Amino acid sequence: MEEEHILAQEILKRHNVSVSQLADKVGMADSTLYEYTGGRKKSIPICVWRALYSLTQDVRIPELIIGDVESFIVPMPKRGVEDGTEGTLKRLIDKRRKDLECEIAILDILADGRIDEDDWKAIEQYRDAHPEAVMLDAQIYHTINGQYEDSLKKKAGR
């Protein structure tokens, strides 16, 4: 990518990450990172992209490497302390239900066999929200498995 510093700037801005935070994560001086993100130094090193991905999980970063290969990238969610609670699972399931309603609405739009201007905005919103929906699905999966594993441990401990 010829203008990769612009992508880096967009990712930093979108995820509200400062150059200083990125510099700390990658172990470089702020001034060095400013040279890369400002475009004065070309070819941002892979260690910077890795650190930026670690901070943001922005899927455009691995897509730089993959290029035109058809793929769909979604970072795996980290299991939080609260993931094992009943309230967390209920919240995740409620959010997933809303995502499924959105998918059904998109399928209804596509059912007529054509996509017109009225459909574009809904499809763009779906396209933007889909990676988060897949991550949510993975988080639900991990939460359910975590609760299952915890229940097996409790059962074995009786």
Report residue 38 as tokens: 């400002």
Average pLDDT over every residue of 121-144: 79
Q: What is the value of pTM for the model shown?
A: 0.56
> pLDDT above 70 covers what percent of the chain?
90
Distances (CA, A) of 25 to 21, 42, 57, 76: 6, 20, 14, 20
Q: Higher confidence at residue 129 or residue 158?
A: 129
Average pLDDT over every residue of 150-154: 86
Superfamily for the 4-66 domain: lambda repressor-like DNA-binding domains (1.10.260.40)
Average pLDDT across the chain, whole number? 83
Long-range Cβ pairs for the range 57-64 (8 Å, 24+):
58/11, 58/14, 58/15, 59/131, 60/7, 60/11, 61/11, 64/1, 64/4, 64/7
Q: How confident is the model at residue 21 (pLDDT cuts 50, 70, 90)?
A: very high
Q: Over 80: is that where the pLDDT of 13 sits?
A: yes
Q: Over 80: is that where the pLDDT of 58 sits?
A: yes
Q: What is the domain partition of the chain in residue ranges? A: 4-66, 81-156
pLDDT at 103: 82
pLDDT single digits (tens) 25-50:
999 999 999 999 998 988 899 999 99
Q: Over 60: is that where the pLDDT of 83 sits?
A: no
Q: Over 60: is that where the pLDDT of 112 sits?
A: yes
